Amino acid sequence: MRIGFNTKYDWILADLERLSSEITLTQLKISSGKNFLYPSDNPSEIRLSIHYKQSIARVERYQRTIDEGIAFLKAQESALAQVEDLIARAKVLAIQSVNDINDKNIREAIAKEIGSIIETILSLANSQLGEKYIFAGQKTTGYTPGEKPFKLIKESLPDGQIIEKVIYNGSIKDLTLEYDKNMKIKLGRNGQVIFMDSGIFETLIGLKRTLEANNIEDFRKEQYDIQKFIAKLDDIYNYIASIRGETGTKIRHLEVKKNLYEKFKDTLKTNLGNIEGADLTKLATDLQRLITAYDAALRATVIVSDLSLAKYL
Amino acid sequence: MYSAEETGLTILESYFNETNESGLLGILKDFWNAWQNLANYPESFSARSEVIEYGKLIAESLKTKFQGMKDLEDQINVKLQELVERINTLASQIASLNQEIIAQEVGGKSANDLRDKRDQLVAELSQLVDIQYFETKEGAYNIVLEKGFNLVNLNQFWKLEVSGKGIYWIGPNNKKVLITSKEITSGELGGWLRLLEQISDEYNYEYVSGDESVYTLTGEPITESTTFNELGITTGTFTFSGMDHFGNSISGNFTVSTGNETIGDLLNAIEFAFNYTVDAYIKDGRLFIEDLYRGPGELSFSITGPVDFGNFDNPAYQRRVEEINLAGELKIFGEELIKAVNSYYTQGVGLTFFTKELEGVYSVNQYIKELPYFLDFKKDSSGTQLSGFFYLWIKDPTGKITPVKVNLNGVSINATLTDLQNVINSALQEAGFYRSASDWDIQAIVRNGKLVIQAKDNFSFAFSNDTCGILLATGLNVFFVGKDPIDFKVNPILISEPELVSSGKMDPTAFRSKNPLFGTFKSNTSVDPTYTGFEIDRLYINFYNEKGEKFSVPPEPFYEATYTIDVLLDDVNIYIKDANGNILKTITLNSGTEISELPKILDGSEGIKATIENEILKFELDLKNAPPEAVYFTVDEGASGINTLIEWDETFSSYAININSTDTLQEIINKLDRLPYLRAYIDSNNYLILTLEPNQTTAYGFEIGEYFTGTTPSSTTSFVEFLNNENMHIPAFRWDGINITRVMTGLEDFNLNTSYENYLSFYLFDEKGNPIDTDTTTPEIEPFRIDLNEILNLANNKTLFDLLQIINAPENVQWGISARLDREGKLILETTGLYNTRSFVVQDEIDDGSGNIIQAPYNYGVINNLSGYILDRGDNRIAQIIADVPSQIRESLGLTTLDDYYSNIIKDIGIATKTIKENKEFIEEIIKQLKTIKESVSGVSLDEEMTELIKYQQAFIASAKVLTTVEDMLQALLEIKE
């Protein structure tokens, strides 16, 4: 076939440009570690890759939320465990006071210890995680200075009696957390439900008052009253235990969910890597091949361009 | 053509390249993460700042990308302008050459040079635009564009013109016909046109236009400011009709009465008739009706009247859209992102309420129809009136928060923004926060076409539960300002006051009153403890549990009696009973038993325990040893000599206290104080106090009754009237031996006027914030409503405890609300989690006298006086729902999520670019092959030329050799002759 002068050089140029372009592209893939650099490189894979990235982002978001939730619930569970221990101790003291009904000093000491148990439970009810009160429902912050979710107030009566009671300034709305699409969990119960509805403060204050009243006149009545408090303390213990159990169950639920998310995320990342990640070994081999071909093409160009009858004239 | 498209699409691809982490998706991911962080820490100031920063980043990023597209569009327009000018120049030159060639060849000469020149111009023209041309018998070239548009005919030529974003072919009488990529499918012009139609959002909007231009009497094309007088028209009526984008029929008319009306007035009337879904304008003297909604639609229009705008059905003067282009899809994504965030955000509240004033971001000239998202408003079944409401929450200087329901039912779709302002002010007036235009605490005004809510000093406000869509449309309480992704930003108010960033909502999932519904009762004035004179025989005390249920059996079964004897003078029988009053066991204390021995005899082992304290004998039920079903006991003293002090009265199911006629007030109070759960005393200032025992967990309220033995009950003869007189509004009744009379319900402190119909209304909402209608037979959303007059009417013998019972009644369980009291007597209302109710707003309402139920003033009613709405910082509902936006299915995106929609766009851009690249490579390969074939025929081959050179060289040498030889031969011949 008759090869025009321009044709020969046009073909050489086209091939050199093609090889050069392929070398550049391969080099970019190696340096980025990705199979594609632009959407037009592989549109359908891009779509999948975006989908995987979005899913990973969503899973990571839920994981962070679950971590926050677990931390919060664990703080609650720990505080409630201590409350349970204190109730058990109060019950032991109450039983002891029934048995040592004639010893005024012992009963005074017991009353004092009950007082300290009340203070400790109050302090536990006002526990914080960071700046958030964990038993205040949705009113986690925003208290005026000196104010807390639970407060012990004292009132004097005309007969000289001091009435103590605990009031709750927190919220009765529970905190919720969304750990999956359209799936929410309550982050524990609010202080009204846990402490106020259980009657824990009323019972302990009532027990302390009974012991302080020291009704030696009718010690049988006092025994009877204390027995009633012991029965109530049993109920309160069971109540707190059941809430603590519920909290524990939620912690386990979230931990299982967290593990599932971790595995799911690994799968998504693997799939993403399969689509997006460049096979560096193959690319390195391709690059070498292209460089060799380019080098050969350049050499051939030099050789061929030197071939001409004009040289021999 | 493909080069042009490839250039543009490659630039577009680089703007939306999501293969690396710096793409828009990465920024969006951070934005949603910031909202999730705010949902996890709704009380956090720094979480709010983070949301704002990422919001700004999103706005800047989208703006940059769309600005980039706009710049590309502008550059393409410049390119098109250049191409059109070049085409016009070439056409002009070809026409001129045609004339010269004809003139030259008339005389039989050949005009080869001119022809060569003309061929060059035609070759260049064919690169720019696809043409067909043929030579006439005169030797001229006639050139037409695709689809038959003339370009050159002999010595005549037609021009193309760029006007706005369109290219027009200028026909006879200067008529302009739009040229699109359908008319020019190839060439450089075709390529750039196709690219422009893919990246310009303008091409996504259909329009229809009249095919006649209209001129004034002076020959100028009309504009929007042209008056009808200038057209020689002083009176007349235009009638128009058509269909909007959605296929809704529209019609209207416009009357010219003086001639001073302008074309612009006519255009306004047309836009109004279309509910502002179109833009009517004049261009080059022609009337255009352009859709404001993207994509294929049903737009049509016709008009008759004193001016002939032509026919609006001519396809040559319309733009129809087959599918939305890439630019449109990207814009839709941006618009939906803004709308999705804002539509939830408007319902929320931050760490504080708004103070001073809040201006809506969207403005109108007059009508609410002009507001963006007007078509999304909830309307009634006829479609002519709005439906729904929203809540405005007002915080007064004392810190009390009151919800004000702004009812939009019945507002016409043709209402003005001023009408809306008046509706809001009416609602505020009902609630008592607006008295007049000069006397208000909170008011709405319209300023510069925007709705503004204003608050006086120390008042503040917030919003929630917009079931109509008005907050989003007016732009009140939005996160992003602006609708267009090319030009939107984070609301500047939030940037300067991040504490206003909404994370929660005001409609509560549970409500606890600030003031007790049943609290401590203290006498108004000091009392005389020594007073005697009450004509009563007995007092009855009923105790109620936390749900307002009366104890039908004694919560603490006991009996007290006084005695003046040492031994029983008669048998005493103690009957241990079950809940139904059946006797389970009888214990008899025989006559002659010593009183002092009773504690030993009744030690609890038989189920009854006796104690003596301060000469008062007390029996108590010992549940451990009593029969299993025992819940209480009664005592028949007979003539034993013991006198009942306190016992359980089976008739009234109450504790009953025997009162002697000589008992002083102090003695009566002392007797009351003996009851469990009740504390009664006169304080050091002689004020009477009645309250529940603080450290008990059984009774949450009580009621007092008396057995009145006198003739006329008054505050001096009746104990309950005495309490009433002292404003100690404990639920109370009187028994006269025959009838029971209700004296107090317990609601007397709540400022309720029984000449009104008084209601307590619960507006209920589901998980998504949609209102729950408790009566679907009426067109309006009906709340769960309780008629308080049922309780207030003393003849019905009900108390405030009945209010709790009504809320908790089995027939009302379906509304998902429960009521109880806490230990301080505060009212707690909670969602039960059953059925659909997830939040609610409870309000006092009254009948306005015309049968309409309206909200009560802020200081009137039960809930308004109990107070209790608070801003809980831990409420994260709004932040959470916004964090979920990317994965929510959206109808406006074709039932896909924002995430999926965007990834599909990226894929489409990739496919478009790849297709163009592949097509271009294919065409280039074809061209290369064709060039090779052409070169092989007409191209210079160096080897061939060199060979020819050698051949001619050899031939020359040979010829020269022959000449030399012949010369030598001749010379030899000459030498021989000599």
Pairing assessment for the beta strands B732-735 and B701-708 based on DSSP bridges: parallel
**Neighbouring residues of B965: CB distance < 8 A, sequence distance ≥ 6:** none
What pLDDT, on a 0 to 100 scale, did the predictor assign at position B445?
97
- Our CA-based measurement puts residue B840 at a distance from the nearest CA of chain A, in whole angstroms, of 13
**Average pLDDT estimate for B279-288:** 93
CB contact under 8 A, A175 and B874: yes
Amino acid at A129: L
- Our CA-based measurement puts residue B659 at a distance from the nearest CA of chain A, in whole angstroms, of 23
Q: Do residue A122 and residue A241 come from a single domain? A: yes
- What is the CATH number for A140? 1.20.1330.10
Question: Residue B131: is its pLDDT beyond 90?
Answer: no
In a domain, A183, yes or no: yes
- CB contacts, 8 Å: B939 with chain A: 2, 4-7
What part of A 98-117 touches B (C-beta under 8 Å)? Answer: none
Return the beta strands (E) in B809-859 as ranges. 817-821, 826-831, 839-847, 853-855
- CB contacts, 8 Å: B870 with chain A: 139, 171
**Neighbouring residues of A242: CB distance < 8 A, sequence distance ≥ 6:** none
Specify whether the CB–CB gap between B473 and B377 falls below 8 A: yes
- Our CA-based measurement puts residue A105 at a distance from the nearest CA of chain B, in whole angstroms, of 24
**Average pLDDT estimate for B763-780:** 92
Confidence tier at B349 by pLDDT (50, 70, 90)? very high
Q: Do residue A23 and residue A133 come from a single domain? A: no
Q: Do residue A98 and residue A9 come from a single domain? A: no
pLDDT digits (tens, 9 = 90+) for B428-485: 999 999 999 999 999 999 999 999 999 999 999 999 999 999 999 999 999 999 888 8
CA A200/CA A117 separation, integer angstroms: 11
Q: Do residue A23 and residue A58 come from a single domain? A: no
Q: How far is CA B347 from CA B353, B505, B769, in A?
A: 13, 7, 9
Question: Residue A304: is its pLDDT beyond 90?
Answer: no
* Residues paired with residue B221 on neighbouring β-strands, in sequence order: B215
Lowest pLDDT segment from A195-209, B642-656, B704-718, B934-948: B934-948
CA B501/CA B490 separation, integer angstroms: 11
What pLDDT, on a 0 to 100 scale, did the predictor assign at position B466?
96
What pLDDT, on a 0 to 100 scale, did the predictor assign at position A215?
64
Q: Do residue A155 and residue A245 come from a single domain? A: yes
CA B631/CA B175 separation, integer angstroms: 102
**Closest by CA position to B288, among listed B365, B356, B355, B224:** B224
Q: Is residue B150 within a helix (H) or strand (E), and if so which, with residue range?
A: strand B150-153
In a domain, A132, yes or no: yes
Q: Do residue A113 and residue A202 come from a single domain? A: yes
**Average pLDDT estimate for B667-694:** 92
What pLDDT, on a 0 to 100 scale, did the predictor assign at position A195?
96
Q: Is residue B804 within a helix (H) or strand (E), and if so which, with residue range?
A: helix B800-808
Q: How far is CA B235 from CA B229, B254, B305, in A?
A: 9, 11, 10
In a domain, A131, yes or no: yes
Question: Residue A218: is its pLDDT beyond 70?
Answer: no
Whole-structure pTM value = 0.88
* Mutation to test the B interface, candidates A21, A28, A38, most B Cβ within 10 Å: A38
**Angle of helix B898-938 relative to helix A43-99, nearest 10 degrees?**
160
3-class state of residue B306 by DSSP: coil
Q: Is residue A163 within a helix (H) or strand (E), and if so which, with residue range?
A: strand A162-168
In a domain, A176, yes or no: yes
In a domain, A42, yes or no: no
Lowest pLDDT segment from A63-77, A136-150, B851-865, B949-963: B949-963
Q: Do residue A190 and residue A287 come from a single domain? A: no
In a domain, A47, yes or no: no
pLDDT digits (tens, 9 = 90+) for B19-73: 776 788 889 999 999 999 999 999 999 999 999 999 999 999 888 888 888 888 8
What part of B 4-23 touches A (C-beta under 8 Å)? Answer: 9-10, 13-14, 16-20
- The winner for highest mean pLDDT among B202-206, B422-426, B923-927 is B422-426
- CB contacts, 8 Å: B872 with chain A: 137-139, 171, 173
CA B784/CA B776 separation, integer angstroms: 12
Q: Do residue A183 and residue A305 come from a single domain? A: no
Question: Residue B856: is its pLDDT beyond 90?
Answer: yes
Lowest pLDDT segment from B145-149, B257-261, B656-660: B145-149
Range of the domain at A197: 52-269
Q: Do residue A17 and residue A113 come from a single domain? A: no
**Neighbouring residues of B115: CB distance < 8 A, sequence distance ≥ 6:** B101
pLDDT digits (tens, 9 = 90+) for B775-806: 999 888 999 999 999 999 999 999 999 999 99
Token duo for residue B367: 């009508």
* Residues paired with residue B740 on neighbouring β-strands, in sequence order: B735
Please tell me if residue B950 touches chain A, with a CB cutoff of 8 Å.
yes
CA B957 to chain centre: 99
DSSP B164: T
What pLDDT, on a 0 to 100 scale, did the predictor assign at position B971?
92
What pLDDT, on a 0 to 100 scale, did the predictor assign at position B381?
87
- Our CA-based measurement puts residue B13 at a distance from the nearest CA of chain A, in whole angstroms, of 7
Q: What is the tally of structural domains in chain A?
A: 2
Q: Do residue A243 and residue A300 come from a single domain? A: no
CB contact under 8 A, A178 and B946: no
CB contact under 8 A, A40 and B683: no
**Neighbouring residues of A282: CB distance < 8 A, sequence distance ≥ 6:** none
Q: Is residue B762 within a helix (H) or strand (E), and if so which, with residue range?
A: strand B758-765
The HSE-up count of residue B430 (CA atoms within 13 Å, CB side) is: 23
3-state helix, strand, coil in chain A (%, to 5): 70, 10, 20
CA B514/CA B401 separation, integer angstroms: 11
In a domain, A46, yes or no: no
Token duo for residue B688: 């009477």
CA-nearest residue to A11 within chain B is B928
What pLDDT, on a 0 to 100 scale, did the predictor assign at position A101?
61
pLDDT digits (tens, 9 = 90+) for A11-44: 778 788 888 888 888 888 888 888 777 888 888 8
**Closest by CA position to A125, among listed A173, A65, A75, A69:** A75
Residue with tokens 């200038």: B230
CA B966/CA B619 separation, integer angstroms: 169
pLDDT digits (tens, 9 = 90+) for B196-226: 888 889 899 999 999 888 999 998 999 999 9
CB contact under 8 A, A38 and B609: no
CA A216/CA A230 separation, integer angstroms: 19
Specify whether the CB–CB gap between B535 and B700 falls below 8 A: no
Specify whether the CB–CB gap between B323 and B296 falls below 8 A: yes
What pLDDT, on a 0 to 100 scale, did the predictor assign at position A286?
84
- CB contacts, 8 Å: B940 with chain A: 4-6
pLDDT digits (tens, 9 = 90+) for B538-563: 999 999 999 999 999 999 898 999 99
What pLDDT, on a 0 to 100 scale, did the predictor assign at position B869?
96
Task: Give the phi and the psi of residue B281 in degrees, each rounded to 5.
Answer: -150, 170
What pLDDT, on a 0 to 100 scale, did the predictor assign at position B686?
92
Size of interface A-B (CB pairs under 8 A): 231
Q: Do residue A265 and residue A284 come from a single domain? A: no
**Neighbouring residues of B197: CB distance < 8 A, sequence distance ≥ 6:** B180, B181, B203, B325
CA B959/CA B562 separation, integer angstroms: 167
**Closest by CA position to B631, among listed B653, B611, B614:** B653
Please tell me if residue B951 touches chain A, with a CB cutoff of 8 Å.
no
Average pLDDT, chain B: 91
CA B329/CA B171 separation, integer angstroms: 35
CA-nearest residue to A275 within chain B is B19
CB contact under 8 A, B873 and A138: yes
Facing A224 at nearest CB: one of B609, B900, B914: B609
What pLDDT, on a 0 to 100 scale, did the predictor assign at position B332?
92
What pLDDT, on a 0 to 100 scale, did the predictor assign at position A313?
62
* Mutation to test the A interface, candidates B695, B881, B948, B952, most A Cβ within 10 Å: B695
CA-nearest residue to A3 within chain B is B936
Question: Residue B600: is its pLDDT beyond 80?
Answer: yes
**Neighbouring residues of B838: CB distance < 8 A, sequence distance ≥ 6:** B509, B765, B766, B767, B816, B831
CA A100/CA B578 separation, integer angstroms: 36
R_g (Cα) of chain B, nearest Å: 47
Question: Residue A217: is its pLDDT beyond 60?
Answer: no
CA A136 to chain centre: 19
Confidence tier at A104 by pLDDT (50, 70, 90)? confident
Q: Do residue A135 and residue A64 come from a single domain? A: yes
In a domain, A145, yes or no: yes
**Neighbouring residues of B694: CB distance < 8 A, sequence distance ≥ 6:** A155, A163, A164, A165, A202, B679, B823
CB contact under 8 A, B910 and A42: yes
Confidence tier at A216 by pLDDT (50, 70, 90)? low
- CB contacts, 8 Å: B19 with chain A: 34, 36-39, 41, 46, 49, 276
Asked if the ipTM is above 0.90, the reply is: no
CA B88/CA B100 separation, integer angstroms: 19
Facing B906 at nearest CB: one of A39, A61, A65: A39
CA B968/CA B978 separation, integer angstroms: 16
Strands across the sheet with B207-209, in order? B278-283, B286-291, B207-209, B318-319
Facing B910 at nearest CB: one of A3, A39, A201: A39
